[in-house]
């Protein structure tokens, strides 16, 4: 059994992994205009600096989870950091569009190994002690909004006072620190016998990658375009082939029997809808602050701090106590309902609004909802898996949230554009577009609350402080 001090250091590295994975999606935002100028991106292709990371990350998560199960989570965790380091160095040194996008995809591949391995390590360390596991999951969950906000801050500071390559170079010393510390504090874990379903891995990566590609590309190509629907149809066909492969193989990448585990499918649907509501809110709230209220990047990041602080405090202090008292189902339903209410309130933003009236109170309600729903739904999903399927379950729940985020953002982008968000300089039209996106995200959050109420099972609160030890080997 690891010493208490060693476990704390290990948890710190696991939280740092979550922080970095999320920060790498947000830190580039402020740097994009200068990257466009220096590397020769077109206006249409610039968004792929973000999308290349997301497509690789979302498409490879299941493979990352399976690799953690077969070769040991600590080993895969370290390999992921090596790949992230290499991708970050290449992204900073890139002198053209193709190299930059390839480097971002490499970063996403590294993150796809890190994320499920980190959660498997968390469950290995804390799964046998329910109270500690709840606290560990709370810190892990709080690291995500902290990473998102830190990315906005650091991206603005680095771009203004250094140069855009440093938004990528920042990863290098952190990766080196993690690689040095990991052998000393992380449990070695045991590799187990089994074959790697390479055909299944290729099929699910191609299918998920194509689906995410189609969705993030749709706002530019058009949701009614033949290109969008052809790629989506291809993604569905490849994913159907993946299911057939899994059913036929003796040792599949994803044993279909895992979805018979109580709560697993329901909790993953909830995580998908939570990501589909939350990420569009964060994205369009930032745009409202900058393009309507006139905030520059750094004050815009500062304006998100109250929301971030509340989420972190809620996840670390409020959610564990409330989950122990009321159980996870009640927390998930209440959290998603609060998120929907906060998003509905944000829909009343005005062209001549103010942060104190139009943003702060509604964003705090939404943040409280997120802090209450995230940990119980994550814990329910990971607690449904058998110990030997911990990495796989980690990959599934991460994939659900990331794919939900991509789908939600793409769908709300289309909604916002249809309502006027593409009319730069026209403040009433911009505000109307952002308001429509908030309404759409509120509907998604409300749907998540309904799904949770209908599908999650109620367990006595005393048994629910966290997933039970025997089933706690996931994400």
Residues 6 or more apart whose Cβ sits within 8 Å of residue 138: 315, 316, 317, 319, 320, 375
- Quickly list DSSP for 239-263: HHHHHHHHHH-SS-SS-GGGGGSTT
Give 60: exposed, middle or buried? Use CB within 10 Å, 0-12, 13-18, 19+.
Answer: buried
| Distance, CA of 25 to CA of 48 (rounded, Å) | 12
Give the pLDDT confidence score for residue 189 in this predicted structure: 67
Rounded CA separation 228/36 (Å): 25
Q: What is the distance between the terminal CA atoms of the chain, rounded to a whole angstrom?
A: 20
Cα R_g (the chain), whole angstroms: 21
* pLDDT tens string 409-449: 778 888 888 888 878 778 999 999 999 999 999 999 999 99
CA 104, CA 309: separation in Å to the nearest integer? 29
| Per-residue model confidence as pLDDT tens digits over 326-360 | 888 999 999 999 999 999 999 999 999 999 999 99
Residue 248 has a CB neighbour count (10 Å cut-off) of 9
Tokens matching residue 344: 């509905």
Number of Cβ within a 10 Å radius of residue 328: 31
Cα–Cα–Cα angle for 399, 405, 411, rounded to 5 degrees: 130
Residues 136, 11: contact at Cβ < 8 Å? yes
Angle at 278 between CA 27 and CA 432, to 5 degrees: 95
Model's pTM, two decimal places? 0.79
Range 16-48 burial, b when 16+ CB lie within 10 A, else e: bbbbbbbbbbbbbbbbbeebbebbebeeebbbb
Are 369 and 445 in contact by the 8 Å Cβ rule? The answer is yes
CB 233 within 8 A of CB 425: no
- Whole-angstrom CA distances from 348 to 49, 300, 343, 447 are 32, 19, 9, 21
- Residue 173 has a pLDDT of 95
Interatomic CA distance for residues 433 and 404, integer angstroms: 21
Residue 318 is classified by DSSP as I
Residue-by-residue pLDDT tens, the chain, 475 positions: 457 788 889 999 999 998 898 888 778 866 777 788 889 887 557 767 877 887 788 778 888 888 888 888 899 999 999 999 999 999 999 999 999 999 999 999 999 999 889 988 988 888 777 778 878 888 888 887 778 777 877 877 787 778 889 999 999 999 999 999 999 889 876 666 667 778 888 888 888 778 877 877 777 777 788 888 999 999 999 999 999 998 888 888 888 887 777 788 889 999 999 989 998 888 788 788 878 998 876 787 778 889 888 988 888 888 888 888 888 899 999 999 999 999 999 999 999 999 999 999 999 999 999 999 988 888 888 777 776 666 677 778 877 887 788 788 778 888 888 888 878 778 999 999 999 999 999 999 999 999 999 998 875 444 434 333 323 322 3
Residue 461 is classified by DSSP as G
pLDDT on residue 44: 59
Q: Which residue has the tokens 């990315």?
A: 151
SS3 304: coil
The three-class DSSP label of residue 339 is helix
| DSSP codes joined into one string, 49-112 | HHHHHHHHHHHHHHHHHHHHHHH-HHHHHHHHHHHHHHHHHHHHH--SHHHHHHHHHHHHHHHH
Q: Which two tokens stand for residue 143?
A: 């690291």
The per-residue pLDDT for 434 is 92
């Amino acid at each position: 059994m690891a010493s208490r001090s060693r476990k704390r250091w290990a948890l710190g590295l696991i939280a740092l992994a979550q922080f970095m994975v999320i920060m790498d999606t947000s830190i580039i935002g402020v740097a994009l205009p200068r990257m466009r100028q220096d590397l020769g991106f077109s206006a249409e292709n610039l968004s792929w600096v973000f999308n290349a990371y997301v497509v690789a990350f979302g498409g490879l998560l299941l493979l990352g989870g399976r690799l953690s199960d077969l070769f040991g989570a600590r080993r895969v965790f370290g390999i992921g950091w090596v790949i992230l380091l290499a991708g970050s160095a290449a992204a900073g040194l890139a002198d053209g569009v193709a190299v930059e996008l390839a480097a971002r995809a490499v970063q996403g591949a590294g993150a796809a190994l890190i994320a499920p391995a980190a959660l498997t390590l968390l469950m290995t360390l804390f799964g046998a002690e329910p109270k500690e596991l709840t606290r560990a999951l709370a810190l892990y969950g709080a690291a995500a909004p902290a990473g998102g906000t830190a990315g906005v801050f650091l991206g603005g500071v680095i771009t203004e006072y250094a140069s855009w390559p440093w938004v990528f170079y920042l990863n290098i010393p952190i990766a080196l620190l993690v690689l040095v510390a990991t052998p000393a504090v992380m449990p070695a874990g045991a590799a187990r016998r089994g074959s790697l379903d390479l055909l299944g891995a290729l099929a699910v990566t191609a299918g998920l990658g194509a689906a995410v590609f189609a969705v993030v590309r749709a706002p530019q190509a058009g949701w009614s375009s033949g290109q969008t629907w052809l790629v989506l149809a291809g993604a569905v066909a490849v994913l159907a082939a993946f299911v057939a492969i899994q059913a036929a193989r003796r040792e599949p990448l994803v044993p279909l029997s895992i979805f018979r585990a109580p709560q697993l499918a329901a909790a993953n649907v909830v995580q998908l809808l939570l990501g589909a509501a939350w990420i569009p809110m964060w994205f369009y709230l930032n745009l409202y602050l900058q393009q309507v209220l006139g905030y520059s990047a750094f004050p815009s990041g500062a304006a998100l701090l109250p929301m971030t602080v509340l989420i972190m405090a809620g996840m670390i202090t409020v959610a564990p106590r409330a989950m122990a008292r009321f159980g996870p189902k009640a927390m998930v339903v209440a959290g998603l309902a609060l998120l929907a209410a906060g998003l509905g309130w944000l829909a009343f933003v005005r062209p001549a609004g103010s942060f104190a009236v139009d943003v702060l109170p509604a964003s705090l309600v939404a943040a409280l909802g997120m802090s209450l729903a995230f940990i119980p739904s994550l814990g329910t999903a990971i607690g449904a898996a058998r110990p030997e399927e911990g990495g796989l379950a980690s990959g599934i729940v991460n994939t659900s949230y990331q794919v939900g985020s991509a789908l939600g953002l793409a769908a709300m982008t289309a909604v916002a554009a249809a309502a006027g968000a593409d009319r730069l300089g026209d403040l009433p039209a911009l505000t109307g577009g952002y308001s429509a996106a908030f309404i759409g995200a509120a509907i998604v959050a409300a749907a998540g609350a309904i799904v949770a109420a209908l599908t999650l099972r109620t367990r006595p609160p005393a048994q629910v402080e966290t997933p039970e030890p025997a089933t706690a080997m996931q994400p």
